[in-house]
A and B are shown apart, each in its own frame.
Chain A
Amino acid sequence: MGELYAIYLRHVVLMVLTLGWSRFWGRTRLRRYLWNHLSILGDRFEYRGRGRELLIGFLLAMVMLAGWAGLMWLAWVYLFHEKPFATFGMFDIFSLSVVMIGFPLAYVGHYAGLRYKLSRTRWRGIRCGLAGSAWRYGVVATFLTFANMCTVQLLTPVVTVNLARPRISNARVGTLPLAFVGSAGDVYGRYLGYYFLNIVAWLAAIAAAFAIGGSTADKFGLTSDDLLKLFTTPSLRTVLVAAAVAVGVYLLFSLLILPLRCWWQAYWFRYLVSHSRAGNVLFATAITTRQMWGFLVLNYLIVLLTLGLGWPWVMHRTLRLIAGELWLYGAPDGASVRQRTDGGSPFGEGLLDMFDVSGL
């Protein structure tokens, strides 16, 4: 982990020195480390992306955004004749349009970024890749997410299965395609259980918060007036009290709700892995709710409490989790898996970089 820390710190120092422009090269170095320290069947992954590819991708995304802004400006001048209607100005049109296209584009970028990363990944010298259209994925993902919102999240299994499928079954190692054979029906029962337990947990947490909050206020003889004063003339004490209250509420909710979430996530992850395969290689994992807690909650806290400096530690924990919990059965027939002759995505992850959704 020391090596990873040194690479990460170097990246952060350069980020501050270059006001962020070194991030393309820093990310590349971090990926080289992470990829090459992860192996399957004794063979390490190899990352051969270049920082300048990410830079070009970023610049392309910027050009696209500028083009869009120009288009909006033309629309403003020629369609609206520079007249705001109902206090709706040029700036509002632009920001609204960015929100409207930004949501689908984030998904497009996500898929395109995955394609880029896979195209720069090698295993046993064989390039990986991702087929399929990022735009199609963006449209499907937007539609499904919207439908899920309209049905108070009850479509979550349909959404997750249908978003996981293209990302897995379009991925390949050379000529060997991966496959995903899951279906939403399999996980619906568990999801509904999680859904209603979640509602119960929220109600319990809110009730508990009120009970605790009320009794503390009584105990210290606080009135609403005192509370108001506390916030209108903030002192160090107020800030500390507010922080303590926030931590208390956070703990209460996390104790009731996050374990449930981890329980569902662990189940979903086990399902996802065990329903994926690559040729005659089968995958499996027995990741537990507790391990998922460590992955989702503890990792989050580590990054938060170290102001981001704990990130390499989190990555290290994640590598260990993958190494320990991803099991393979069977071996690929090496001779039948061949290198593909087509290249892969030529540019970096412009859209992804712009929306800043890439975990790695």
Chain B
Amino acid sequence: MSEVRELTFSEAINEAYIEEMQCDENVFLFGECIRAGTFPHTAGLLKKFGEKRVLDSPIAEANMAGFALGAAQEGLRPVVDFMYAGFSYYAATEIFLNTASYYHVHGSQHPVPIVYVGTCGVGRRVGYEHATPVYGTAIHHPGLKVCMPSTPYDAKGLMKAAIRDNNPVFFLWHTTMVAQKGPVPEEEYIVPLGLADVKREGTDVTILTLGLQVHNALAVAETLQDEISVEVVDARSVEPFDLETLLKSVEKTTRLVIVDEDIERAGFAAEISALMMEQGYDLLDAPVKRVCHPNFPSPGGYMDAYTMPTPERIEDAVREVCR
């Protein structure tokens, strides 16, 4: 059997773009400095698809998102790249209110397929504007789908699913992982939205997380392997969320730690904790534990060490729920 080739996150996303743009004329890329590629995921696409389908947007995020909604209503399938996902907050009205609500409020008759792309995550010491992971805010607005890959394989598959989806989808990727490599097969595949992935099986405790933190969770599982058997569930998709896979895992392990780079208060981890109370309470032998960004703003700089869920913090949490 031949070795599966390795691609970076950027290369994987680039391939997803190429494949989807080749199969649907209506897909086009529109974003901040994508022709040059602040991040290399758009490298070479201008040459390949021309100026019509690969456009640098004005640096005007509200207009970018309003534009995308209009283009989608008219039958196009825009992929809107905010460079850093946090910049999209200038378009909060357009994305979280108007676009998210459009389909449902107008009688569930007219889909608006849009992909919003942006990097995020702590770890580069650059502060809240570039770090805010957006997904906690996004899932508070029904109508949006939200995903965040932890591997180049998932990045390609989720991006293809996002582009084909008939709804607005936020595709988030971690700034520190842009050049990280992983196996990506040559054959075409899709990773459907709404399917979690058990990245490591275990029997004593479940860690639910996504993005970069999947790797920290796996590192902790490795460290603890002789003491505590850790199962790592990668949510991949935050909305729709695969509760079934999580419940199945917790049924086996009876303990749950949720690792989330977002601010702890009222975020993704809080939502999953509440779902566990309502639908998984009887499965648990210990209270759910969250490892999140503490409830203060992300200053950046050396403070990142305080705000990031590190392997040390995750390990402490795992030990606590297993006591």
Q: Do A and B belong to a common assembly? A: no
